[in-house]
Amino acid sequence: MNIVQSIIIGIIEGLTEFLPISSTGHMIITEKLLGVTETDFVKVFTVAIQLGAILAVIVLYRKKFFNKDIIPFYSKLLIGVIPALILGFLFSKKIDLLLESSVTVAITLLLGGIVLLFIDNYFKNPRIQSEKQVTYTNSILIGLWQCIAMIPGVSRSAASIIGGMQQKLTRSAAAEFSFFLAVPTMFAATGYKLWKYFKEQGSFSTQEIKLLAIGNLVAFFVAIIAIKFFIDFLKKHGFRVWGVYRIILGIILLIMIYTGHLQS
């Protein structure tokens, strides 16, 4: 991987992390289209670069993360992240194998798109308008939904937002809680990946540190724009357009894989 590739992947991450279209799936496909060799560092990069996008949440919602009433807020997030911590630790090797599969990404994008076509009409009469009304039970159940996104192509954002809507959150409240829940989830995932790589390799090279820094910085600035856009768009238009996008992309990827234009 070179600097230009890290910048491109950073842009893709920033654009897609908070949209219900799977940032990991888009990064995996982008890396293959760019000819990035699948190495242990690239696998770490694919996860760790999401930290930049997550930091954008903290900046945009700093009043939530830094105020006098942070204990209930952080307690909900910590409870919500427990399922991902447990399942992520137990199945980390299987998840790493799935990160190599374009077929998995294509299929999950397609199937997830079909779900998004109908999701707006499925969950009706929401009663939770903001994070303050979210209970600890709501938090852990949304956290369980989020775990589905350990399969590349599912989308952590889509899974957790649907989980929130299933728990009677409005679309915008579910989206915002999904953003908040992403913070401890991705901090934990990134920390674990970086620690594991450091333990196995002994250190990060200067080039690897540079690539991680550039990718995260690009993802941070792009994500700030994407978050503002998504909340406004979601309130007005819902999920259907993202479902159509996922279906079209999934079909295109399957055709590319079948014709040999994309490594499976």
DSSP string for 173-206: HHHHHHHHHHHHHHHHHHHHHHHHHHHHHSS--H
- 51, exposed or middle or buried, with CB in 10 Å at 0-12, 13-18, 19+? buried
Mean pLDDT of all residues belonging to the chain: 90
The pLDDT of residue 124 is above 90: no
Per residue in 62-84, pLDDT tens? 988 988 778 889 999 999 999 99
Confidence at 148, pLDDT banded by 50, 70, 90: very high
The pLDDT of residue 167 is above 90: yes
Query: What's the rounded mean pLDDT across residues 10-19?
Result: 92
Residue 245's domain spans which residues?
3-258
What is the rounded CA–CA span in Å between residue 151 and residue 183? 19
Number of domains in the chain: 1
Q: In terms of residues, how long is the chain?
A: 264
Residue 162 resides in a domain: yes
Residue 153 resides in a domain: yes
What is the rounded CA–CA span in Å between residue 116 and residue 109? 10
What is the rounded CA–CA span in Å between residue 243 and residue 66? 35
Residue 185 resides in a domain: yes
Query: What's the rounded mean pLDDT across residues 156-185?
Result: 92
Residue 29 resides in a domain: yes
Q: Report pTM.
A: 0.88
- C-alpha distances in Å from residue 263, one per residue of 26, 27, 257: 14, 14, 6
The pLDDT of residue 11 is above 90: yes
Residue 131 resides in a domain: yes
8 A C-beta contact, residue 108 and residue 159: no
Residue 264 resides in a domain: no
What is the rounded CA–CA span in Å between residue 60 and residue 45? 24
